[in-house]
Amino acid sequence: MTASAQTTTPAATPQQDAGVDQAQIDQGKATFAQKCSHCHGFNMVNAGTIAPDLRRFPDDRERFFTTVKLGKNGRMPPWGDLLNDDQIACLWAYISSRKDR
């Protein structure tokens, strides 16, 4: 794992979150479909797998970045070597836009 994969990104301020635009959400949706949907389900609705329902993921951007980069409990693989911070930020924008849907 690279050194950059081990760093975390600080939680966004409300002003940073307000700066999320539709292009980021769209890019996050495309990345999700390509990299995440096989475990987390199409549109984040999984079929009862061990993957969590991301529509109810806590509003914790830092936790999200850390989990995506480093993996979780041996069940979720680390993506820090495959996705850069911008791609992860777009994933967060997409997931945040779909909360409780």
Q: Could you tell me the pLDDT band of residue 3, with boundaries at 50, 70 and 90?
A: very low
The pLDDT assigned to 87 comes to 97
- Residue 98 DSSP symbol: T
d(CA 65, CA 8) in angstroms, rounded, equals 6
User: Per residue in 35-67, pLDDT tens?
Assistant: 999 888 888 887 677 788 787 777 889 999 999
Span 12-33, average pLDDT: 76
Torsion angles phi and psi, residue 50, rounded to 5? -75, -10
Of residues 78 and 14, the one with the higher pLDDT is 78
- Side-chain-side CA neighbours of 37 within 13 Å: the count stands at 10
Furthest-apart CA atoms within the chain: distance in Å: 36
d(CA 75, CA 43) in angstroms, rounded, equals 20
**H-run or E-run covering 87:** helix 85-97
**pLDDT of residue 70 exceeding 90:** yes
The pLDDT assigned to 100 comes to 54
